[in-house]
Amino acid sequence: MTALALSSLSREELRRWLEGRGHPAYRADQIRRHLLRAGEGGFASMSDLPLQLRTELEESAVWSSLEVLAATIADRGLTEKLLLRTEAGHEVEAVMITHPAWDGSRGRRTVCVSSQAGCAIGCVFCATGRLGLRANLTAAEIVDQVLEAARRWDAASVGRPTNVVLMGMGEPLQNYHQVVLAIHLLHEWGISPRQVVLSTSGLVPEILRLAEEGLGVRLAISLHATHDELRDRLVPINRRFPIASLLDAARKYSAASGRRVTLEYVLIRGVNDDPGAARRLGQMAASVHGHVNLIPMNPIPGSDLRAPSAAACRDFAALVGPRATIRHSRGDRATAACGQLRASLTPEPRRQERILARELALVESPSGPPA
């Protein structure tokens, strides 16, 4: 029988679970406080709980649904990348990012979490896409990434997580139910849905469903191309949901949620960094009243795709206009780009071959916009 992950329960569900075993409901808050504290080593260390309850917890529940395999620190301690393993043996990553208080602004602590082990979408510039989909994560496994980060920040006395971005491994909207459940659970850990950013490759029906959900999470759309011929090759889901339908969904999401949508655009040298693309991107951002994040591509092993020079990125941003910001992927210096901590995981060979063939075609004949 699979042990109960405490992070899968809301506060009320944990209270009921305890009462069902003859324990007072207030123990739920005690247990939940322990889950956030540094230096906690499991149920045995919860010395303010009666021995009988600790024994019952040991027998029927797990302290965390994830095991930490490795932690890598970068950016002079401001970024920490965690390699984690689920009970089923799947490896996933989370990145802890500290934004110090600056010029009157309050500091933020953001956890970038994975929603799947691997990913089925297969974007050509992404290491995770080369793994294929290994598993959907449960809501508890998503929440436990944040609780692990909370304990580490608590150990460093820097405070609780303030923001969560669903930008790690996986396409969150392909794991819709568990992701929405995790967003609800995270609210009880002090992270409001408005402090959550969900990044999607563009699953139009699920974007519209999320709009109806009324959660108010911020939506980030991985656009990466300004015409369908190129986007079909970079982000294959575009063949099902082309750019026009995606921008239409973005407008509807923005109207329903009252949140500005972000268009993400990985800059790849010689592929999507021409001046025409910059101008079209600026127009698209204006059409959805959104903002553009330009992300110079992180190199991935076995791939020839590279970022443009820093000067070329600045020129591109200037052409996009005031809606554009250049963002460097934090966590890249923790190892390299998304998905690269899992050096022990090998890409699925036939999938890797297919993606490399698409990449080769991109480099040899980058497609221009339709005439």
- Contact criterion met (CB below 8 Å) for 115 and 123: no
Residue choice 64, 96, 122, 180 for contact with ligand SF4 (CB under 6 A): 122
Contact region with ligand SF4 (CB under 6 A), list: 52-60, 91-99, 124-132, 347-355: 124-132
CB of 236 to ligand SF4, least distance (A): 9
Residue choice 94, 129, 178, 282 for contact with ligand SF4 (CB under 6 A): 129
Give phi and psi for 201, each to the nearest 5.
-80, -10
- What is the layout of strands, in order, in the sheet containing 163-166? 66-74, 79-86, 91-99, 108-112, 163-166, 196-200, 218-222, 262-267, 291-296, 324-326
Given 40, 93, 206, 264, which residue is catalytic?
93
Nearest residue to 292 via CA among 272, 270, 311: 272
Binding status of residue 331 toward ligand SF4 by CB under 6 A: no
The answer to whether residue 212 is catalytic is no
CA–CA distance, 133 with 40 (Å, rounded to integer): 33
CB of 170 to ligand SF4, least distance (A): 6
CB of 23 to ligand SF4, least distance (A): 41
Contact region with ligand SF4 (CB under 6 A), list: 23-31, 103-111, 121-129, 323-331: 121-129
Binding status of residue 171 toward ligand SF4 by CB under 6 A: yes
Nearer to ligand SF4, 226 or 298 (CB): 298
CA–CA distance, 70 with 81 (Å, rounded to integer): 8
- Contact criterion met (CB below 8 Å) for 268 and 297: yes
Contact region with ligand SF4 (CB under 6 A), list: 89-97, 125-133, 252-260, 276-284: 125-133
How many helices, marked H, and strands, marked E, lie in the chain?
A: 11, 14
Q: Residue 61's beta-bridge partner residues?
A: 4
Residues making contact with ligand SF4 (CB under 6 A): 119, 121-123, 126, 128-129, 169-171, 201, 222
Residues with catalytic roles: 93, 338
